[in-house]
Amino acid sequence: MCASPLSATVLRQKYAFSKIAIANEKTAPYGVAAVEVMEKYGIYNKITHKIVRGDNIAQTYQFVFTENAQLGFVALSQVIHETEGSRWVVPQEDYRPIRQQAVLLNKGAGEPAALAFVAFLKGKTARDIIASYGYGFDD
């Protein structure tokens, strides 16, 4: 997870920003993680009035990208290749891990294309691409 453009220091400066974007913590794992980070730093209750919630992490990123929020907690994969702006990669120990998974539904279990796609996702090429966007593996 990445907070863009902020750091723990900026988060603690309550007058440094007027809006901070997070994904809705009731429906989005990234929102849950954002709240955990802010609670860990002891600021969540102090800045709740500045929080704007995206329905999902994509909308949250849009709030930050369009500068409708000065700060925001977004997925690292959304900004990892950006050269403009600033960001703070939130230390993993500050929130519970967000697990990304692929699932093959029963309906697709006998479909060659579905099986090939799952095999591709487990292969080196896909794993290298996934890793290039900041995701790790639990193997």
Q: Which residues does the chain have with pLDDT short of 70?
A: 1-8, 13-15, 139
Q: Report how far residue 10's alpha carbon sits from residue 45's, in angstroms, rounded to the nearest whole number.
A: 16
Q: What is the pLDDT of residue 74?
A: 95
Q: Which of 22, 13, 18, 16 is nearest to 90 (CA)?
A: 22
Q: What is the pLDDT of residue 1?
A: 62
Q: What is the pLDDT of residue 5?
A: 47
What does the chain come to in residues?
139
Per the prediction, the chain carries an average pLDDT of 89
